[in-house]
Each structure stands twice: as structure tokens, then as C-alpha cells.
Chain A
């Protein structure tokens, strides 16, 4: 399969970025919007063409999906160790291409309406293109270092876009927080890469992932503190993934990242960048699975499951609709992680892997839809808070119906997309780990509840008296909603198992009816509860909030994790390390130098009386000196 044209997929957005970024003052806003959409349409078309070629024409040889690589050396370290740049085509990278293309294209179209009239319109589209370029580069990466490079680039695009409203202090601090927290996680990633490079001798995914390759077979050769060094490397790499994917305890940046414009939240903080961690684990799945009998994979499963539960609980009490969605994203990504964590490798055993990718795909569609729908609502009522909303279904019919579809999809109601992928995840968990299965089912119920709390709160509930009557958004914004809604309805019918599987052979997925019935039932209970609490205005929710008392407060304050981090950074690092360092430098180190200088001056002040300017003094010193030297010489001579 000739894949050389795929290099254009990332390069086109890069060209758009350079064009818009360098001429941001010269290009008219309207035109820059068109350039952005046009550029991305080409990339998207190429992605679809690649997917068609790969999945249906010549990707499969003897029933196994092949890996196609096209790369060249970018930086040499040694003969065997080098950083390559290139593209790698395999089932998951092609799937990610499709996800990124669809969501990014929809967000581009949507932004033309949403950002209309904004000062930095062109700058916004430039950043979007930069992000899309980096994300394409990330999913197409051929080796660990390349993925790290684009990993950092998506991070900085995220920084720029969160801080897009850069005169707002809250946006600036959110952007900084997002960057620094993920940077800290990336430190782990980088150290993991260094360890891997040293012990495995390569960064190349193909070599690393080969189940019969030397890396996987000889993982036990070196160990450190009871674990194989390769396991350590994988855990550290997973730390990077957990940072990007907002897994507990590195999740604190994601809710704040909602300060960015809403289309950005849909693209970066819901559908694409935040699932990079899942993608990374999937990318290295054979290593996670085989090395040390899946020790690192177990860690992934438990972190995922815990994050999923933790975030779902917090989501129930949030009042900012974007933050509800942010915690929901964290929870759903936890779901994907746990699916990977409980996955096997061969054939149907690998259902977790498939389910995780499937859920990544469907989640991208309905979560982007939820965010864009929320953006549409925010656009109409100029507020992020539930208290300012209610009864909007009459004013915004398209937003209402598409949001409902997305909510049903995420709640796992058949036949919407989320039902199918969630079912597969629960099947995988049921087969491998009952504890995680129970967590998964419970989270499914919570998800349905908080999502319909949101839905009823926005579109039903108390009628608000709006200063300006809200109105439906323009076609540029509703069109993407409709497209994504369609995908959220039909996305689940894709026979995903045939395309994406851990061993590349493909298998036929089939519904496990009892498990599906349980999951759906739990979801419906959640929806029903939300119906009772929030459909009509009533005081039930307040009563229950009071009944839970302190627990409610902890939850709505996100279990004080922000405060803990603030304490560590401000009190310990800033005041406890940085301040003493600076003091030490100015007073001790520099003080010593000044002391040397000053004492020299003092000493010379004391002895400068010798330089009296009187001839006889000098003559005396001269003669005395000569005599002493002569005596010394004579003494030395005679001995």
C-alpha cells in the first residue's frame, strides 16, 4: 500500500497555520475562516481516502491488518538509536485520523459562527490549525520520540487556546495550570522514554511492539526495586498519558481548561487531545500486555476505574455546564482506560482493547456534540451556569434535540452509539475483573443521572425570564450539531471488532444480552431519577443536597484537590524552596563574594599607609627588601 500521500494530512494544516499566523493582520477574518475550513476539508478527505484504502482495499494481508511505515531519520544519536519522523498507518492510527478529521472539521465550521466578530478571529483559526497539525502528527507517529514531540506541540496548542482570551486572568491561570500540570506528567513520559531508549535500544513502535521481538521477550533481564525496568518505563510513559488524559491525580487542569472558547473544549478537551493518553497505551498495548505479565496494564485499569468513578461523582454537583461536561469527559476516558486495562490479546480475549477504541470513537462524536450544544446554549444565554438556564427547548429546537441525542448516547441507551461501545467495555470487565465491572456499571448509572440533570436543567426545568430572548444559533453552528448527532445515532452500528483488534485479526462482535440489559437498566434508572429531580422545578434536589451535607460540599468542591495542589506548589515549592534559594543566593553565595571584595578593600585601606609618597620611605623599604631577599638567597644557597 502506497502511503506516501498521507504525509500531506498533517502538512496541510501546518501550511494553513503558517499562512494565517504570519498574516494575521492582513487576512480578513471571513477569509481566514474559509481558508481554515478548506484546508481541513482536504486533510479530512485524504483521511477518509486512507481509511477506505486501508480497511477495504489493501490493508489486509492473509486476514491480518498490516502496518505501513514511511519515515526518515530526523536526529541521530547512535547507529541504532535515532529519532525518526514519518507516518505509521495501522488500524488505530487510521481510526484516530477519522476521529480527528471529523471533529476538527465540524469544530472549524462551527467556529465560523461561534467566534464571529471576535478580535482574534484569524488568530483563533491559526491556533486551531496548529492544533490539528500536531494532533495528526501525534496519531501518525512512528516512534516514541515522535509521539513525544507532537505530544508537546498539542500541549502548547492547548495552552494557547485555553488562554485565547488572554486578557482574562482566569483564562491565563487556567492555561498556565494546564501546561504545567501536563508538563509535569510529561517529565515522567520523557524519563520513561530515556529508560526505554537505553534498555530497549530503540524508540520504534514496530520493534517495541513485536510480541516475538527481543524487547518483549527479554523484559526480565534488568530490574529495579523488584520490577522490570521496562515496566518502570511503561509506568512512567503512562504517567504522561495520565496527565494528558486527565486521570486521577493529574486531572486538576481539565475543569479549568474550560476557560477556553467552547469549540476548543469540544475539539481538544473532549474529543481528541485528552484521549491521547488512551491512544498512547493502545499504541504500546503489546508491551503493556506482555511485559511483566501485564503489571503496568493493571495499574492502567485501576487508575482508569478510579478516575471514572471519582469524576462521575463530582460531575453530579457541578453547576457550570462546561465543568459538568469536563468531569464527564474525565470519567469516560477513565472508562476507556479501564477497558484497555482489562483487555486480553488474542482474538475475542482482546475485546477490551477493541471496546476502548470503539468507545474513544463514539465518545468523540457525542461528547463533541455535547460541547458544541453547550456552546450553542452559552452563545444564546451568555452564561455558563445552570441557574441562568431553563426551558430553552422552546427557543432552540435543534440544539435541544441534538443535545438529547448526545445525552442518550452517553447514557448508554440503545440504539445510540454509546450503548454499543459501553456494552463491550462492560463485557470485557465482566470477563476479567468483577470489581472493575461493578465500578463500571455504577458509573454508567451516575453518568445517565448527571447527564440528564444537565439536559433537564438546560432545556426543561424552571422558565427563566431572559433579558434578550434566546434564539437558535445560525446554520454554521447547527449544521455540525446535526452531523455529529447523526453519527451519535449510527456510529454504534459500525462492526468495530472487524477493523480494530489487539492482534489485528479482527473478530465478530456480538451483544451479550444479560449484561446489556443490566447496563441499560441502570442507565434508565439514572435518567428516571434525573427526571424526578429536575424535569419540573421542585425542591427535591435541594433537600437531598442538604441531606448529604458535608459530602455534598466536598464533592462540589472537587474533594479539595485544587487546594492540595495549591498548597504543594505555593506553600512548599514557591515559599519553601524557591524563596530560600533566592535568599541564599543573594545573601550567602553573593554575600561571600562581597565579603571577599570588601575585606580586600579594608585590608588595602589598612596597608595603603605604606604608599606614603615620601621618597625616604620608599628607599627604606627598597633597601630592607633587598637585604631580606639577599639573606634568603644566601641561606638557600648555602644549604
Chain B
């Protein structure tokens, strides 16, 4: 079995075993083992990738090609580069952490874990696909369990939120499909056959008019799931209603598919379109960065704060991609990882706090550090990492983005935008410190129970799983940069 297809097989096997296992205890152990294997495979993949990269110069390695549907030239065509390996690693970490955080899932545990694993299957599929059509199919596989996960296990106005989220993402998918078909029908521009193969299409000179026409379709189709302003409103409601592990997975991994798709499909295959449209979308992205941060200041619900913070931080990813600069792109990928880990940490912590105090209203929380020292300390560290403190992953990502954006855009318009985006680091520190100062520090709120249960072993495991890479990237960013930087070359050739 090749090393990549395993990422499809293992989740499927996990789901099959889950179907036949009864009760919470079996379900969670099975999911834990399944996701542990996934993480092992992801780590193995990383080392294998480094080894392979040393001797193999092609864009994608570990490729495999099976004809799937001959008439339309659809293939099951897989392969990875440094970017996908990094994101696969992120996915495996977040999924495992999510399983630990849901250790005490009470309602329909088996079905919950099945949905979770299916979701991860879709995500892996997107990251390993080289064929546009299979990529799209996996993308849908990842999105659909979301509806169930929020609609069934959610809280608050969960049906409304689930519906809103699904409809907006499906709407985006429809737009995306138009874009993908647009690319497909232009893939014979140089006289070859129609193809969905990304690597082949990248060699084709798609006519300029078609690039200009279809770039917005593909861009918006993917960017909605990365909460591109003004299509982000599904995100706060969706997150607020979603159960903890789903929020973790969604904000941590699923929202990364947007940036990935924009990069892999829109910018790689339609470089002229990207050049043509970047000025417009970069404004939207920059607005998202600032607007999300300012909106987060005003919120009082922990999850809403985090959701708007995600709008801001993922806006930064899109912004970085649209600067069309290699350093900033490197930053965008690192930011995807960093935000994935940090936002998953935040949602996990929020879940723990909510599970104990039954409120997410910051006005009702205070001085928690005293009673929950572990959670408090991790919360503060996460907050500091989130606002871009050196020593954590966020700093590395942001600095790459800012330096790159400044290097590339020599005209005033882009400079001003860059400075505007850089200024978001101050706003970010305002809402983070407001949050930390209110709920962790300060006096205890009177209606608080004094003997809240301390963090359990499974909660600590989940937290540490996420925290270690955050620090690892922050202290020693070079290995990750090495992995990503080389894979950016083909993209650069396209745009320049």
C-alpha cells in the first residue's frame, strides 16, 4: 500500500470498526487508536518526505495515478509536496487532540466519532489530491459531516447555525464547481486532451480571458470556507453552536482548506487571473484582518471572540497569498498551521471552561486562574501565542507575512495595505488581553463554584499535543520553512 492512500484507508477502517463497536468506551478507544495511527503516519510521512525530497526534484512526490472515470479523464491521482505534508501533519494532530477533548461525549458517541473521522478523511483527501475532480469530491466529503455534527451535537440555535453554515458553504461549492469546470474546459488550450490533473494544467497556457473570468469563481469558492469578508458570517454562528471538538476541527483544519485551495488551484492554475484580480481580493482580505479584530473586541461570548479572531487571522493567510511573494507565501502556510493549532487550543480551552462553569459569557467569568491553574496558565500562554509573541508559531508566521508583503509591493497602495494589516497586531493584543484579564485574572466572580474539577489527563493530553508544535515552530522555524520554501518554487514561476 502506498504511503498516501493509507490516509484514506485508515480512516475508512476506523469508521468500519466504529460501526461495530458499542458504547462510549469502545468508540472513543477505537477513535483514539485510529487517530493515533494517523498521527504516526503523518510523522512518518514527514520524515519520508525529507528523505525523498533530497533525491527527487519533481513538484509532487509519492505520486500515484489510477484512472477512475475514463470518459472525462478523471483520475484518482495523488501526491504531496511540502505544503500538503505540513497540513496533513496539522490535521492529524488536531484530530487526535479533538478525540481526547471529546473523551466524555455523552450523546450518540459512536455516531459522533464516525462523523469526526469521516471529516478527517475528506480533509486528508483534499491535501493529497492532484486531480481537481477528486479534490472537489473530498472537499465536499469534509464539509457535509459538519451539518450533522452541528445540527445533532450542537448547542443553542444549532439547527439555524448548521443550516446557515451548510448553505453558505454549499453555495460556495457551486461557485467553485463552475470555476473548476471552467478550468477543465480550457485545459486543452495547448492542444492536449481535457484533463483535471493539476500538474498537467499548470503546464497549459490557459487563455487570459478564461483566467480572468474563472479566477474569481475559484477564489471565492474556496475563500468562503476561510471566512473571506464579507462571506464570513456563517463562522461565528457555526462555531458558537458547534460542540468543542467540531469547533476545533473546523477552525483548526477545515478552514485551512480555503487557503490551500486558493493557493493550489486558483493561484497555481490561473496565475494571470491572480495577477489581474489580486488588487481587489487583497482589499477584501485586508478588510477582513482589521474588521475581524475590531469586531472581536466587542464580543462577550468566548466562542464569538474566537470566531472573529479567526476571521482576522485567516484574512492574514489570504492577504499573504495575494501579495504574490514567496516569503509571504511561506508565512501564509505557517500561519495556517499556527492558527490551526492555536485556534484548536482556544476552542478546547473554551470547551473545558464551559463544561465546568456552563457559561461562555465573559462578564460571568473571572479570576479562574486561582481555581483552575493548569487551564488558566495554558489559556494565558495560548493568548500570548495568538497575539504573536516571539517563541511561538504565530510570530514566525506573521513576520514572514509582513516581511514578504513589504518586499514585494513597491507601490504605495500595497504598502498602505500592509501597514494597515500590520497594525492589527495591536488590536489583537487588545482583545486577547481583555479576555485574559477578565476571565483568568481579576477577582473571582461571586456565583462561581469554588471547587471546579481540575483538568483531567485526557484534557491535558489533548492540550499538550497542540501546544508542543506551537512552541516547536516558534523556537525552531527553520525545519518547517525548509520544507515549505522549496515547494513554493513552481508557484513563483507561474505568477512571475
Which A residues contact B (CB, under 8 angstroms)? Answer: 25, 73-78, 81, 83, 145, 148-150, 152-153, 156, 163, 166-167, 169, 172-173, 175-176, 179-180, 183-184, 187, 190-191, 194-195, 197-198, 574, 577-579, 581-582, 585, 589-590, 592-594, 597
Return chain A residues, CB-CB under 8 Å to B495.
none
Alpha-carbon separation in the docked complex, A579 to B485 (Å): 40
User: Looking at the complex, which one of A166, A169, A190, A197 makes contact with B369 (CB distance below 8 Å)?
Assistant: A166
- Chain A residues in 8 Å Cβ range of B308: 585
Instruction: Decide yes or no whether B384 CB sits under 8 A from chain A.
Output: yes
The stretch of B34-42, B178-186, B437-445 in contact with A is B437-445
Say whether A183 contacts B425, CB under 8 Å.
yes
**Out of B168, B369, B429, B485, which one reaches A179, CB within 8 Å?**
B429
User: Which chain B residues border A592 with CB–CB below 8 Å?
Assistant: 230
Q: In the complex, are the beta carbons of A152 and B419 less than 8 A apart?
A: no
CB-CB < 8 A to A149: which residues of B? Answer: 390-391, 395
How many Å lie between the Cα of A180 and that of B432 in the bound state? 10
Give Cα A63 to B299, complex, Å: 62
Number of A-B contacts (CB under 8 A): 126
Asked whether, in the complex, the Cβ of A581 is within 8 Å of the Cβ of B433, the reply is no
Other-chain residue from A75, A184, A187, A191 in contact with B396 (beta carbon distance below 8 A) = A75
Do A167 and B367 touch across chains, with their CB atoms under 8 A apart?
A: yes
Chain B nearest CB from A288 CB (Å) reads 22
CB contact under 8 A between A187 and B426, given known A167-B367, A167-B444, A194-B406: yes
Q: Could you say which residues of chain B place their CB within 8 Å of the CB of A173?
A: 437
Question: Which of chain B's residues have a CB closer than 8 A to the CB of A574?
Answer: 297-298
**1/0 per position for B113-151, CB-CB distance to A under 8 A?**
000000000000000000000000000000000000000
| Total contacting residues, chain B, CB less than 8 A | 54
Which segment, of B74-82, B346-354, B397-405, faces chain A? B397-405
User: B residues engaging A (CB < 8 A)?
Assistant: 163-164, 167-168, 230, 232-234, 237, 291, 294-295, 297-299, 308, 327, 367, 369-370, 373, 384, 389-391, 395-396, 399-400, 402-404, 406-407, 418-419, 422-423, 425-426, 429-430, 433-434, 437, 440-444, 477-478, 481, 485
Are B442 and A167 interface neighbours, CB within 8 A? yes
CA distance A75 to B328 in the complex (A): 13
Contact residues in A for B167 (Cβ distance below 8 Å): 597
Could you name 25 residue pairs across A and B whose Cβ atoms are closer than 8 Å? A25-B373, A74-B478, A75-B399, A75-B400, A77-B400, A77-B403, A149-B390, A150-B390, A166-B441, A169-B442, A175-B441, A176-B433, A179-B429, A180-B430, A183-B425, A183-B429, A187-B422, A187-B423, A190-B402, A194-B402, A197-B403, A581-B298, A582-B295, A585-B295, A593-B234
- Bound: A175/B295 CA distance, A: 23
Residue from A76, A145, A156, A172 within 8 A of B389 (CB atoms): A156
Partner of B426, one of A150, A163, A184, A579: A184
Distance of A148 from chain B, by nearest CB (Å)? 8
Contacts of B237 in A (CB 8 A): 590
Besides the known contacts A169-B442, A582-B297, 11 further A-B residue pairs in the complex with CB atoms under 8 A apart: A76-B478, A149-B395, A156-B384, A187-B422, A194-B406, A198-B407, A578-B297, A578-B298, A581-B291, A581-B294, A589-B230
Write the chain A residue with the least CB distance to B387.
A183
CB pair B295 A578 closer than 8 Å: yes
Give the residue name and chain of the A residue nearest to B408 (CB). Answer: A198
The 5 closest A-B pairs by CB, nearest first: A582-B298, A166-B441, A149-B390, A590-B233, A578-B297
Among B168, B233, B400, B404, residue most surrounded by chain A Cβ atoms (within 10 Å): B233
Q: Given the complex, which residues of A lie within 8 Å of B234, measured CB to CB? A: 593
Q: Which residues of A contact B485 (CB under 8 A)?
A: 76
CB-based contact B429/A152 at 8 Å: no
Given contacts A167-B370, A197-B406, A581-B294, whether A152 and B390 have CB atoms under 8 Å apart is yes
Q: Is B389 touching A77 in the complex (CB atoms < 8 A)?
A: no
Instruction: Check B294 against A577 for contact (C-beta < 8 Å).
Output: yes
- For A78, the closest partner residue in chain B by CB is B327
- Let me know if A578 and B294 touch, CB within 8 A: yes
Contact A190 B422 (CB under 8 A): yes
- Residues of A close to B291: CB separation below 8 A: 581, 585
> Chain B residues near A597 (CB, 8 Å)?
163-164, 167
Question: Bound state CA distance, A194 and B295, in angstroms?
Answer: 27
Return chain A residues, CB-CB under 8 Å to B441.
163, 166-167, 172, 175
Residue of A nearest to B402 (CB): A194
- In the complex formed, the residue of A with least CB distance to B412 is A224
In the complex, what distance in Å separates the CA atom of A579 from the CA atom of B291? Answer: 11
Report A-chain residues with C-beta under 8 Å of the C-beta of B444.
167
Cα A78 to Cα B167 in complex, Å, equals 43
What residues of chain A lie closer than 8 Å to B434, measured between beta carbons?
176
Provide the bound-state CA to CA distance between A81 and B327, in Å: 11
- In the complex, A180→B423 CA distance in Å? 12
B437-A172 in contact (CB<8A) = yes
CB distance from A155 to the nearest CB of B (A): 9
Chain A residue numbers with a CB within 8 Å of B429 are 179-180, 183
Distance between Cα atoms of A169 and B406 in the complex (Å): 40
For A169, the closest partner residue in chain B by CB is B442
Q: Which residue of B lies closest to A75 (CB)?
A: B477
Quick one: given A167-B370, A578-B298, are A153 and B389 in contact (CB under 8 Å)?
Answer: yes
Q: Which residues of A contact B404 (CB under 8 A)?
A: 77
A201 to chain B, nearest CB (A): 10
Q: List the B residue with the shortest CB-CB distance to A574.
A: B297
A183–B403 CB distance below 8 A: no
In whole angstroms, how far apart are the Cα atoms of A75 and B429 in the complex?
Answer: 24
- The chain B residue with its CB closest to the CB of A181 is B426
A77 to B419, CA, bound (A): 19
A160 vs B221: C-alpha distance when bound (angstroms): 43
Most buried by A among B370, B395, B402, B442: B442
Q: Distance (Å) between the CB of B369 and the closest chain A CB?
A: 6
Q: Assuming the A-B contacts A156-B389, A187-B423, A581-B294, are A76 and B481 also in contact, with contact meaning beta carbons closer than 8 angstroms in the complex?
A: yes
